[in-house]
Amino acid sequence: MLELKGIRKAFNKGTPDEAVLFDRFDFSVQEGEFVSIVGSNGSGKTTLLNLIAGNILPDEGKIFLRGQDITAQKEFVRARRIGRVFQDPALGAAGHMTIAENLAIAENKGKPFGLTAGLSKKRIAAYRDMLHPLGLGLEDRMNVPVGALSGGQRQVLTLMIATLTPVDVLLLDEHTAALDPKTAEQTMALTDRIVREKKLTTLMVTHNLRFAEQYGTRLCMFDKGRVVLDAAGEAKKEQKVDDLLALFNAISIECGN
Whether pLDDT at 111 is above 70: no
Q: Which residue has the higher pLDDT, 125 or 113?
A: 125
DSSP alpha helices (H): ranges in 99-180?
A: 99-107, 121-131, 151-163
Whether pLDDT at 193 is above 90: yes
Whether pLDDT at 25 is above 70: yes
Report field, pTM of the whole predicted structure over 0.85: yes
CA distance 177 to 99: 23
Q: Tell me, what's the pLDDT at 256?
A: 46
Of 90-99, 108-117, 169-178, 181-190, give the lowest mean pLDDT range. 108-117
Architecture of domain 2-94+149-255: 3-Layer(aba) Sandwich (3.40)
Per-residue confidence band for 163, with pLDDT thresholds at 50, 70 and 90 = very high
> 3-state SS of the chain: helix, strand, coil percent to 5?
40, 25, 35
What mean pLDDT, rounded, does the chain reach? 91
Whether pLDDT at 164 is above 80: yes
Whether pLDDT at 110 is above 70: no
Whether pLDDT at 117 is above 80: no
Of 26-30, 62-66, 109-113, 124-128, give the lowest mean pLDDT range. 109-113
Average pLDDT over residues 190-197: 94
Could you tell me the residue ranges of all domains in the chain?
2-94+149-255
DSSP-assigned letters across all residues of 18-70: -EEEEEEEEEEE-TT-EEEEEE-TTSSHHHHHHHHHTSS--SEEEEEETTEE-
